[in-house]
Amino acid sequence: MATIDRMLGRLVRRGELRVIDAAGRLHDVGTPDPGRPRVTIRLADRRVGLDIVRHPRLGAAEAFIDGRLIIEEGDIAGLIDLIRANGAWEKPGPSLAAPNPLRRHWGNARARLDRFNWGAKSRRNVAHHYDIGDRLYDLFLDADRQYSCAYFTDPANTLEQAQADKKAHIAAKLALKPGQRVLDIGCGWGGMALYLNRVADVDVLGITLSEEQLRTARRRAEEAGVSDRVRFELIDYRDVTGVFDRIVSVGMFEHVGPPHYRRFFLKCRSLLADDGVMLLHTIGRMGGPGTTDAFTSKYIFPGGYNPALSEIVAASESVKLIAADIETLRLHYAYTLKHWYDRTVAARAAIVALYDERFYRMWTFYLAGARAAFLHGGMCNYQIQYIRDRRTLPITRDYLADAERALHARG
């Protein structure tokens, strides 16, 4: 009893958590925190606590998905937010004083096994997440199905607006000229490729490893009457040939894996014209190299890894790609995920009908957990603009705002 209360007390100081244990006893911890309502959870059996102590995130996730950890007051987003806010990344523990190379070594060695995404494995990993039914993505994404961090010029903007602004923000950094050839690595359902063709009069090759994405993307290009200028292929980036004036890759690098970073950039460099520009948009971790958490690896993105900026840059500079501009989007993904979570909750009945309650709970845990990682954990989103030749692009960044304004006008 006392032990449980002490443990819970360490977990939650600000904000209120009530735990009803398997014997029906109440444990109240924390203090009222304005704007953060109390969360009450019920543990259906005695194993839940032990599972969580053994594997904190995975144990809690599986207990919640299985329905053994039940939220009686509040919701899973509130529970995760409450716990993560109490261990916020900005308030580092003693780990800041000195790095532990041995621990990092072992952590990395363990994680390294998971990071080898060879051809066939890449396809399986992609199918695991993206081929689970187009219908699901309609239910929580924006109409253009942008499945990556949006760009909020105002946190109050709608998701549709923020995703449109994201496309313009990226297009501006690509410094596009009419008639240029663009490669979109990890094109999703084709939204970015179609947008770039429409606003900048460029030809785009979009590539994906997801058959469902490919079908949808091709259909959209046909419906827009641009399938001669916006083509989509089911092909690994390692197998692409040719030379492109521009390369864009949005939310795909998270699937590459650190052992492949150098080869990824070497391939991109070889596909990029001498005066080419590349824009990499990827989730990142702000506190240096780490490991993917067990829940995400097991349920959401097998083989996925969110890179530290030092890992990205070490690889890209080793192949002489010049990082001309790096922008760290800090809170934008938290805003994006809030929209996705709210839409998921609103679509509960439809999602349960498509899959089942377990899937619905898993999906809400994933989105709520990811949001907390961007709000309180070490996650962010990097936009890195690469060039091969230092003389490419204007010498100052003033062109970016001008280009963005012009793109909004063409929108």
Q: Binding residues for its own copies, per CB under 8 A?
A: 89-90, 92, 96, 99, 151-153, 155, 262, 266, 274, 286-288, 308-310, 313-314, 317-320, 322-328, 330-332, 380, 388-391, 395-398, 401
Nearest distance from residue 249's CB to its own copies, in Å? 19
Closest contact distance (angstroms) between CB of 227 and its own copies is: 35
Q: Strand runs (DSSP E) across 209-303, as ranges?
A: 230-234, 244-250, 272-285
The residue written with tokens 């993560």 in the block is 84
**What's the min distance (Å) between Cβ of 78 and its own copies?**
20
Least spacing, CB of residue 140 vs its own copies, in Å: 23
Please, which residue, 72 or 317, has the CB nearer to its own copies?
Answer: 317
Q: Which is nearer to its own copies, 8 or 286 (CB)?
A: 286
d(CA 264, CA 282): 14
Question: Closest separation between CB of residue 38 and its own copies, Å?
Answer: 24
Pairing outcome for strands 39-43 and 26-31: unpaired
Considering only the C-alpha atoms of the chain, give the largest distance between any 2 of them, rounded to a whole number of Å.
Answer: 70
Q: Are 333 and 36 in contact (CB under 8 A)?
A: no
- DSSP string for residues in 160-221: HHHHHHHHHHHHHHHT--TT-EEEEES-TTSHHHHHHHHHH--EEEEEES-HHHHHHHHHHH
Under a CB-based contact definition with an 8 Å cutoff, are residues 31 and 16 in contact? yes
Residue closest to 355 by CA, chosen among 151, 180, 205, 136: 136
Distance of alpha carbon 86 from its chain centroid, rounded? Answer: 23
- Residue 185 CB, nearest distance to its own copies (Å)? 20
Supply the minimum distance, in Å, between the C-beta of residue 152 and its own copies. Answer: 6
- Find, among 371, 312, 379, 383, the residue nearest to 166 by Cα: 383
Report the alpha-carbon angle 33-39-43, nearest 5. 145
Phi-psi sector, 40: left (phi>0), alpha (psi -120 to 50), beta = beta
Rounded to the nearest 10 degrees, how much is the dihedral formed by the CA atoms of 341, 139, 164, 296?
Answer: 50
CB of 286 to its own copies, least distance (A): 5
